[in-house]
Structure 1
């Protein structure tokens, strides 16, 4: 209905394919427990029964299954042979396939994902060729922009379906690493002979062996963050913890779950945010004037309020609690005024889509008469200084919150993997002569500031890694370049060597 006018009604006879609710409606209608069995023969028998049941149910529910579009395969880590008994839908045989492609992921019998990786590699090679077009000799080309395009265009394809392909993590590491590093070389303007570790260190990127582990952890954290009502360990969590242990010898902490997704309730009373101090004083104002404003505010506007100061600290990716209770749950006979120097917390309280579980908990528990007042930090306000001191002392305590917000765990995971990569780069660079050229002038993995212009950045990057066009063409025996041939001939003729010596020298 729009205004007082109603639209006409139409009968939907071809299903809900294409609708935004298609998957949800189908799963709600078709949900059923999976069949399991102790032997291949029993599983095959139950499979035939399940297909027959689904066909009958679909007919009664108004769905129409297509036998020609249906497929089945036998997934098993052992070499068991499945019986040759065919499976039918409405007396039409379902074709059997060695692999099945579902939502862009090719699944094979042993879940090795070899064919999936081969197909993704072919797709990414064409995408890398397109990257060369934007990595050309443009005067104002920026490598950061090209890296962002590479992440969206190539890396996203490499990690698509990672929640399932993680079962073949070894195959992914072996087959996708060359493609990933090739994309980094192309984006940075480096030559194919540049070592992968040197290319990553020069561009400030994680090597694929660290990048894939970081992506797996982030996928898991994002999934667990939104999955309420169950704490059982799925294979994704088990695999992520295994990779984390073998890399940094630590497991992921427990993840705090969000209370809701999307915008907050429209009928919820908005938080009272007081920005009086911020409006009166700019950054770098006199601390004495700030203290005077805060004292006057507490004496007048919040004279009848119970005043509490709040602060917190973050260490090793785990939230440490201060000695005082969380301000939103304090009991008082008077209205509560919470003074905090965290501008991010105040901004999150004003947001229409707060996704931090702690902020959502404040919305759930805070009293309607609670006011949040922002004050500058390190301004000599006694209550704020005491809260900061108590919060800082939490770093010396072995008391953590039971669960950590997802954003904090993601930042901690990335930091730990980067530290591990930095240590490996520092150690390996001393023993590996191929990357020692860059290691001599760059002992860390941080990205250096690029010169302006793509050509200058390309030249500097090649010089840093020690792989230039001249050395690359010489090493592969390319004598077609007139410029290189001219330089070589001029140098050898100046030395007085005969032609046969020049030929042997070039060889």
Structure 2
């Protein structure tokens, strides 16, 4: 099926996804564009017949990004008219004329409404982290399906599917529907929909760079004590990372070697790069023992399925004369100490190997940037939850789902006792002008003696903190005050 796509005319493009074929024809006028499209359709049909495939026109569809005149010449496949579709479905994505993806987003929103019941049912029997995992498997995978195409309209995705994403977080945490989306996400330790969309889109964009290297284990790292022969060239490697750069050092060669790596590389990458360079620079006429203090690199090499390019380089350079061994770090071993010293001075080295940053390090760096950006955005907000939790870090979950729900509602400031006057005919409380939760836990004079009894003193940030002792005291206080069942 590749033959029709080897010599396409200008303005015509062909894409193959599994057993689906997408043909795109571009042109200034509708008639000429249709002639070009018909030519490539005929070529694809002939190629399919020649290779034993039967393509049916009823399973094909044609769509036009401009006005489709009623008297336009229809496209045919094997003398059968191909039907016209205003909103064709390609790879599960509903496409409209302007590729706004809005019909696709609306269809996803409708399909996901029933899935929220699964989160709620699972949430009644498990803790919040399990409910969030269920929500990720059902809602998250649906919203971000084929984001490589839907990212054309990130604003539409956030506006239409964002409430569904945030609603799943509220359900998993047991929060009220009126809870602000930002407060619900920060309290649960997840990103807002817009920020999560950027993270997933970037991750998918780089996913094609990841490769696997097979299932065989190329190394069986022996312990250091097995290397006793004086015929082995002993090479020590080390990598380190600091604010001023990432560097690696190799000792045991004729001349010690140190080099820099790109700033986005991790310590793992520096250790793996040092081993790979040591295998390249070693003497080829004698056996060599390469010592490293990175157990994680040795385990990744031994797995045989690593996606890290530097580990794959080690697998490619494997040689029966080379043995990789684990040595204790910072134990006074001379070769390891020399490698540490060379790694420290590697920041001033002119040599920079390799010139490319591994994909996994780029993704980790981007995730950190997204997390820091969202944290800075959150710290600029002024609300109740910001006083308690300054970042979207994950806090310790309670074993009891009910206790976790109570703590979550108090942290976001939306509870039944504090907003009852807004949804019923109950009178407005005197403290409605201030923060009701902060009033109950810090300022209410009627509960002052009871708060002192349980040691609930200080600002609201300390009372609703992640301290297990504080959380236990707070729950006991709510039970004695008669507020536990009203939150």
Per the normalisation by structure 1, the TM-score is 0.70
Deviations 1:436-486 (A, max 9, x none): 21111222221221222100000110011110123344323377xxxxxxx
| Map of 2:445 onto structure 1 | none
Q: List aligned pairs for 1:7-406, cutoff 5 A.
A: 27-28=1-2, 31-35=5-9, 36=11, 38-40=27-29, 41-75=31-65, 84-136=72-124, 138=125, 141-223=126-208, 225-226=209-210, 258=211, 261-264=213-216, 270-276=218-224, 301-314=228-241, 320-322=247-249, 323-324=257-258, 326-332=277-283, 333-394=285-346, 399=352, 401-406=354-359
2:404 aligned partner: 457
Provide, for residues 140-164 of structure 1, a one-character-per-residue CA deviation record: whole Å limited to 9, x for no partner: x222211111111110110001111
In structure 2, the gaps of 5 or more residues are: 12-25, 250-256, 259-273, 427-487
1:63 deviation in Å?
Answer: 2.3
- Cα distance in 1, alignment partners of residues 68 and 74 from structure 2: 17
Deviation for aligned residue 1:396: 6.5
Counterpart Cα distance in 2 of 1:350 and 1:221: 25
Q: Figure out how many residues of one structure are paired with residues of the other and give that number.
A: 384
Q: Give the superposition deviation at 1:34.
A: 4.5
Distance change in 2, residues 1:160/1:397 (3 Å) = farther
Provide the secondary structure at the position in 2 that maps to 1:312.
Answer: strand
**Cα-Cα RMSD:** 2.6
Distance 1:50 1:74, change over 3 A: same
- Quote how far apart the aligned CAs of 1:170 are: 2.3
Instruction: Please give the per-residue CA displacement for 1:222-247, whole angstroms capped at 9, x wherever unaligned.
Output: 11x14xxxxxxxxxxxxxxxxxxxxx
Task: Give the 3-state SS of the residue equivalent to 2:340 in structure 1.
Answer: helix
Distance, in Å, in 2 between the alignment partners of 1:437 and 1:192 is 17
Residue 33 of structure 1, CA deviation: 4.9
Q: 1:319 to 1:161 in 2, by over 3 A?
A: farther
Partners of 2:3 and 2:47 within 8 A in 1: no
Deviation of the 1:119 alpha carbon: 0.7
**CA drift at 1:321:** 4.1
Counterpart-to-counterpart distance in 1, 2:344 and 2:68: 60
Change (3 A) 1:34 1:208: farther
Which residue is 2:375 aligned to? Answer: 422
Q: Determine the C-alpha separation between the residues in 2 that align with 1:317 and 1:271.
A: 33
Q: C-alpha distance in 2, partners of 1:50/1:446?
A: 53
Shift of 1:341: 0.4
2:413 maps to 466
Q: Distance in 1 between matches of 2:134 and 2:184?
A: 17
- Provide the C-alpha distance between the structure 2 equivalents of 1:54 and 1:218, rounded to a whole number of angstroms: 34
Cα distance, 1:389 vs structure 2: 3.1
Deviates more, 1:438-447 or 1:389-398: 389-398
Inter-partner Cα distance in structure 1 for 2:321 and 2:43: 58
> TM-score scaled to structure 2, two decimals?
0.73
Contact 2:166 2:192 in 1 (8 A): yes
Give the Cα–Cα distance (whole angstroms) in 2 for the partners of residues 128 and 478 of structure 1. 30
Quote the Cα distance in structure 1 between the aligned partners of 2:162 and 2:244: 29
> What's the secondary structure of 1:307's corresponding residue?
strand
Supply the distance in 2 between the matched residues of 1:400 and 1:417 (Cα, whole angstroms): 27
**Are the aligned partners of 1:191 and 1:472 in contact in 2 as well (CA < 8 Å)?**
no
Map of 2:395 onto structure 1:
448
| CA-CA distance at 1:52 after TM superposition | 2.5
> Structure 2: how far apart are the matches of 1:118 and 1:317?
48
- CA distance, structure 1, for counterparts of residue 323 and residue 348 of structure 2: 31
CA contact (8 A) 1:318 1:401 kept: no
Q: Give how far 1:38 is off.
A: 4.3
Deviation at 1:338, TM superposition (A): 0.6
Distance in 1 separating the partners of 2:337 and 2:80: 77
Residues 90 and 39 (structure 1), Cα distance of their counterparts in 2 relative to 1, 3 Å cut: same
The alignment partner of 2:282 has SS state of coil
After TM superposition, the structure 1 stretch with the greater mean CA deviation from structure 2, 438-447 or 35-44, is 35-44
Please list every run of 5 or more consecutive structure 1 residues that lacks an aligned counterpart in the other structure: 1-26, 227-257, 278-296, 431-435, 480-507
1:328 to partner: Cα distance: 1.1
Shift of 1:82: 9.5
Q: Is the Cα contact below 8 Å between 2:223 and 2:326 reproduced in 1?
A: yes
Higher relative contact order (CA 8 A, sep 6+): 1
Shift of 1:304: 1.5
